Structure 1
Amino acid sequence: MKEILRLFPPSFQKVLLEQVDWRRVQEIRLRVDRPIEMISSSGYSVIESLSMTADHLSYVLNQISQFSLYRFKDELKEGFITIEGGHRVGLAGKANTQEDKVETLKHISFMNIRVARSTRGQVSSLLPYLYDDMGWRSVLIIGPPHSGKTTLLRELACVIGAAAGSYSPSKVAIVDERSEIAASLRGVPQLDVGTRTDVMDACPKADGMMMMIRSMSPDVLIVDEIGGERDALAVQEAVYTGVKVICSLHGNGVESVSRRPSVSQLMHDQVFERYITLERLRAGSVITWKVYNHLGQVLGEGEGGRMDGVDRRRHHFNRYNTGRI
């Protein structure tokens, strides 16, 4: 966890090493004039001896941005910065807007460091629903925040690109607009996304999907968190070119997302052959999923392994852990 510890003032680092169970911590929340809050698989706690002043938070922000916050102006618009190791730092404060659009953040007074680590879930039980004699299917993964959507996408990229069991390997492309799936640093993925996966980092999804289809000729295209109409049209266009698309979407079930105009058209046109719904993970919980066909009929449901954090492994992929999330 050296990537996280180095963010804090030296006087904080010794206390954090001694008092934090780094095997289980999921989030570290920093707030001006309040003690540090730790969220783990067993619940939450505060470190009363470490209260964040404005100067302390400024120190952390300088470490995150390497004393050049302007270089991260695009990330600030999104409200987070991804750091080395795949850890994501959420930011909140005062938003500067122009024409009803966020231009940047200033007076940053709140941070949420989402800790990245390996998990123990299983994707292998899902694979029979996502593959047939014709190859991989197009899939929409639906779930609320912190339900494992991005973890599932990352592990599917590994499995789809590998010769795992009876599943033939395929070329995989990831469009990683928010640097969450691969967490690339200077173009190189910091997280394990498989040996046959190409990544377009920090590129708008709609543009990136078309660019990857033209330049990298993928069999399967993976995208995180599709949003508005442009994203939906790009997904539809990609599928019509013969590429399978696996993407995710915030939501609480198939019925709830079907009411969104951009998604409802994709569902009406049966662009996706499978839907996977995930439930929000809570302290000590396990991944629970359901799989639906293109008509919304339940095909199966199950559970994965216990998740103590977000999967951010780098270069640990091999045949032994194929299918682990």
Structure 2
Amino acid sequence: MQPILPFLPARIRGLIERLPEAAGDRLEEIRVREARPLEVVVGGESRFVSPDGALTLEASRGYRPSKEDGLKLLDLLTGHSLYTYEEELRRGYITIAGGHRVGLAGKTVLERGEVKHIRDVGSFNIRIARAVPGIARELLPAVWDESAGTVHQTLIVSPPRQGKTTLIRDMARTVSEGAVRGNAPGSGQRVGIVDERSEIAACVKGVPTFDVGPRTDVLDGCPKAEGMMMMIRSMSPEVLVVDEIGRHEDAVALQEALHAGVRVFATAHGRDASDVRDRPVMRRLLEDGVFSRVVELTRSRQTGARFTVRDASGRKLAELNARTLTESGRAPC
């Protein structure tokens, strides 16, 4: 929580600091909406925060952030300079140090039919990033290509807030360390992360703040399609890691990576593999054999993270549970 607190207006910061310790350790989101109750997501469950810092299910008891709270929050998030964050405002989110993403909603300003930026921001969703070392432990053997001595081209699919970024971060770390093959000397691979939203590695001045492995290079804040080509040319990775693909440009870059002999870990939003196939760009990638493994990620409080591994045709190959727990004892991701 410490990296987030300086960005919160004094009143909201005080309420978050007064949350029960167990809730603070499991905090996933802080949702600030002007004139509507302050909401937090704790361990996958939604609660409102009362004016005395207590958690409640009753919206009527929640503290209602003022317009001044919203203006101050936006001012702190943009370092007192909205102009320098024009691109982030256009995309609808700001990433702050530590890899925490802040989603924004408000009045959109259009130019030639396209969103130029957002003004009169009235809603903020602060998503708290956490590393969960070991979350990929059970999965990686199921996406290992024994004949090639490396990983399969792997697509991770899940709805939002299920832990895709957390998972590929740990996949990158594990492959970079060589832990897939028991940390045998020299078994680690060169990993290149194209971190468009600064969420996977959470770099500060070019240096990752999350552990992404000893043989990992990060291209921070770079568009995925261009970044994949830059990474291949400049750092010759054996494995590329990218988050949230889906555009035509991404597909072209992934095809080029395949032709260059580079393996890829990528994520995409979707309920499952069949949902992803309904999108033309993703269907083409699967039909062209860019991904030989598709992993459906789900999670629940009862089972934690669950992986369903399929081949490119959709045939189920394995179903696995991640058994790693965080220090607070909750299910991972």
The TM-score, its normalising length taken from structure 2, stands at: 0.87
- Could you list the runs of 5+ residues in structure 1 that have no partner in the other structure? 310-323
Alignment correspondent of 1:314: none
Residues 39-73 of structure 1: CA distance to partner in whole angstroms, max 9, x if unpaired? 10162221231321111111111111110121111
Query: SS in structure 1 opposite 2:103?
Result: strand
138-147 or 250-259: bigger deviation: 250-259
Query: SS in structure 2 opposite 1:287?
Result: strand
Alignment correspondent of 1:316: none
The alpha carbon displacement at 1:169 in A equals: 0.7
CA spacing shift, 1:121–1:213, aligned 2, 3 Å: closer
CA spacing shift, 1:308–1:31, aligned 2, 3 Å: farther
Alignment correspondent of 1:231: 250
CA spacing shift, 1:145–1:237, aligned 2, 3 Å: same
1:25 is aligned, of 15, 24, 27, to 27
Alignment correspondent of 1:57: 70
Alignment correspondent of 1:125: 138
CA spacing shift, 1:9–1:142, aligned 2, 3 Å: closer
Per chain length, whose mean CA-contact separation is higher, i.e. which structure has more relative contact order (CA < 8 Å, sep 6+)?
1
Alignment correspondent of 1:175: 194
Report the count of equivalent residues.
310
CA spacing shift, 1:161–1:35, aligned 2, 3 Å: same
Alignment correspondent of 1:155: 170
2:261 matches 1:242: yes
CA spacing shift, 1:15–1:145, aligned 2, 3 Å: closer
Question: Structure 2: which amino acid aligns with 1:62?
Answer: D
* Cα separation, 2, equivalents of 1:307 and 1:29: 25
How is 1:310-321 mapped onto 2 (pairs within 5 angstroms)? none
The alpha carbon displacement at 1:165 in A equals: 5.6
1:188 is aligned, of 194, 201, 207, to 207
Alignment correspondent of 1:7: 7
* Cα separation, 1, equivalents of 2:79 and 2:166: 28
Query: SS in structure 1 opposite 2:266?
Result: strand
Query: SS in structure 2 opposite 1:2?
Result: coil
Alignment correspondent of 1:292: 310
CA spacing shift, 1:267–1:16, aligned 2, 3 Å: closer
Query: SS in structure 2 opposite 1:61?
Result: helix
Cα contact 1:284–1:306 (8 A) shared by 2: no
Alignment correspondent of 2:83: 70
The alpha carbon displacement at 1:229 in A equals: 1.2
Cα contact 2:273–2:314 (8 A) shared by 1: yes
Instruction: State the superposition RMSD in angstroms.
Output: 2.1
How is 1:278-289 mapped onto 2 (pairs within 5 angstroms)? 278-279=297-298, 281-282=299-300, 286-289=304-307
* Cα separation, 1, equivalents of 2:170 and 2:197: 17
The alpha carbon displacement at 1:6 in A equals: 1.8
The alpha carbon displacement at 1:190 in A equals: 2.4
- Could you list the runs of 5+ residues in structure 2 that have no partner in the other structure? 52-62
2:278 matches 1:259: yes
Alignment correspondent of 1:40: 42
* Cα separation, 1, equivalents of 2:42 and 2:231: 37
* Cα separation, 1, equivalents of 2:114 and 2:255: 27
46-55 or 243-252: bigger deviation: 46-55
37-46 or 193-202: bigger deviation: 37-46
The alpha carbon displacement at 1:137 in A equals: 1.4
Cα contact 1:121–1:286 (8 A) shared by 2: no
Residues 80-116 of structure 1: CA distance to partner in whole angstroms, max 9, x if unpaired? 1111222211111011111222111100010011122
* Cα separation, 2, equivalents of 1:307 and 1:68: 40
CA spacing shift, 1:215–1:31, aligned 2, 3 Å: same
The TM-score, its normalising length taken from structure 1, stands at: 0.89
CA spacing shift, 1:133–1:225, aligned 2, 3 Å: same
CA spacing shift, 1:308–1:294, aligned 2, 3 Å: same
* Cα separation, 2, equivalents of 1:251 and 1:9: 35
2:224 is aligned, of 205, 213, 217, to 205
Query: SS in structure 2 opposite 1:51?
Result: coil
Alignment correspondent of 1:216: 235
Question: Structure 2: which amino acid aligns with 1:265?
Answer: R
The alpha carbon displacement at 1:282 in A equals: 4.9
Residues 115-150 of structure 1: CA distance to partner in whole angstroms, max 9, x if unpaired? 223447632111222211412211111111112111
Residues 149-182 of structure 1: CA distance to partner in whole angstroms, max 9, x if unpaired? 1111100110110132626210000111122211
CA spacing shift, 1:241–1:107, aligned 2, 3 Å: same
